[in-house]
Amino acid sequence: MLNLFLPKKHVESVFDIEPEFLLAQGKKGIIIDLDNTLVPWNVGHATDKVIKWLKKMGDANIKVTIFSNNNKERVTVFAEPLGTPFIYKARKPLQKAFKRAKDQMQLRKDEIVVIGDQLLTDILGGNRAGFYTILVVPIVQSDAPITKFNRNLERWILNYFYRKGKLTRRMTDGQ
């Protein structure tokens, strides 16, 4: 059961994920979390580094959908200026919005990667929906109040995976 929380890959930052790696894995699309994955949860707009990363993915013909449990205003203000498709109030880890993102991208499950900073939402939801999942280290250690409870449980699960050798700290593939 805990394996539903096990990402295929664990990296330091979204910026460590290169289009060449994704293409070599047969990936043509990314469903990516917003808060603490692309920018800190309390930052409203994309940084130059995010814009450059998104452009790099676009230049490689990799589709990106920003995917968040946050409200319409938060996600729209961030994603619309980038011209990047998005889904707000995704209700992760439920599978319905993951399937909607897949359908919008017009790709198969095996062509999509889910990237996020939370085991209990991004990784669990992506794994349950049948996608390749990549866990990133949260950009900042502070969280919105609703996320703080999840982080304590996630630490316990991550430590279990480390102890069992199912996951090594960052930049390696899960078993």
Could you report the per-residue pLDDT of 21-75, keeping only the tens digit for each? 999 999 999 999 999 999 988 777 999 999 999 999 999 999 999 999 999 999 9
CATH of 2-166, one of 1.10.3720.10, 3.40.50.300, 3.40.50.1000, 3.40.640.10: 3.40.50.1000
Sheet architecture: strand order including 63-67:
86-87, 63-67, 29-33, 112-116, 132-136, 9-11, 172-173
- Rounded CA-CA distance 175/168 in Å is 10
Tell me which H or E stretch contains 72.
Answer: helix 72-79
Predicted pLDDT at 174: 41
Amino acid of residue 141: Q
Q: Where are the domains of the chain?
A: 2-166
Residue 171 pLDDT > 70: no
User: Would the pTM of this model clear 0.95, i.e. be above it?
Assistant: no
Q: Report residue 82 CA to chain centroid gap.
A: 18
Q: Minimum mean pLDDT among 41-50, 79-88, 125-134: which range?
A: 41-50
Question: Which residue, 133, 100, 95, is CA-closest to 116?
Answer: 133
